[in-house]
Structure 1
Amino acid sequence: MSRVISATPQAVYEFASEIDNLPKWAAGLALAEVVRDGDLLLVDSPMGRVKIRFVEWNRFGVLDHDVTLPSGTVVTNPMRVLAHPDGAEVVFTVRQIELTDDEFARDVDMVAADIERLASHFGSQS
């Protein structure tokens, strides 16, 4: 899924990559404060307690992150912030791993809501 945000790609990437901002826009992933353990993040999510590891900060707008589910399964989530003529385009790939069709639809809706919250930080309107 993707969403254009009326802000520079750099501004969107800087905000989204700041771990302390995660609960501000990614409620589908982090419901509360993020606990750091080195480069591993521990968060309470709608899926239960999960572990998250983001790729290192980079100049390419890559925000890929692995989420270790309570079951131990690791899900790699590709995420990019790309230049777009109208600002920045956030692209997120949602994968159906260990999910029923209904749970997958719920995840897609949660990711869409997260990206909308990210856009609202910059005052973007659909």
Structure 2
Amino acid sequence: MQSRHVHVVIARPAGEVYEYAADPDHLSGWAAGLAQGEVTRDGDLLLVDSPMGAVTVLFAPRNPFGVLDHDVALPDGTTVHNPLRVLNHPDGAEVVFTVRQLGATDADFERDVAAVAADLNRLKDLLEA
């Protein structure tokens, strides 16, 4: 199993990037690989229509460290842990998402990496506009 760290530098303060990305109301605006349309809350769980079907998402509790790790429960019952961090960077913030291959084919893994990169670039474009 391979992992790849996909990252982008955003010319905004890390705290601002974290607060925006942590807000479930913003997910469908930048995280198309996870959320398509409205996000519904059920306590700490988020109910999301995703490209994979209806999923539930549980983010790490708000924290001062920029940790946005989240577990995604897929329609087949599998739960995938997704490490996501917002780090201080000399030019603002660096957002790092670790994509893990798990059981995916090499081609599917590359598609996942490309989808995550597109999502992070969409976040960058929104926050730098």
Which bin holds the TM-score, normalised by the shorter protein? over 0.9
**Which blocks of at least 5 consecutive residues in structure 1 are unaligned?**
none
| 2:20 maps to 1:26 | no
| RMSD, aligned α-carbons | 1.1
| Residues in 2 aligned to 1:35 and 1:42: alpha-carbon distance in whole angstroms | 5
| 2:39 maps to 1:15 | no
Q: Which residue of 2 aligns with 1:98?
A: 103
How far did residue 52 of structure 1 move? Answer: 0.4
| Residues in 2 aligned to 1:40 and 1:55: alpha-carbon distance in whole angstroms | 11
Give me the TM-score of the superposition, normalised by structure 1: 0.94
Q: Which residue of 1 aligns with 2:122?
A: 117
Deviations 1:23-78 (A, max 9, x none): 01101100110011111111111111111000111111000000111111111000
- Structure that is richer in strand per residue: 2
| Residues in 2 aligned to 1:70 and 1:45: alpha-carbon distance in whole angstroms | 10
| Residues in 2 aligned to 1:104 and 1:50: alpha-carbon distance in whole angstroms | 19
Instruction: Tell me how many residue pairs correspond in the alignment.
Output: 124
Q: Which residue of 1 aligns with 2:46?
A: 41
Q: Taking every aligned residue pair, what percent have the same amino acid on both sides?
A: 60
**Which blocks of at least 5 consecutive residues in structure 2 are unaligned?**
1-5
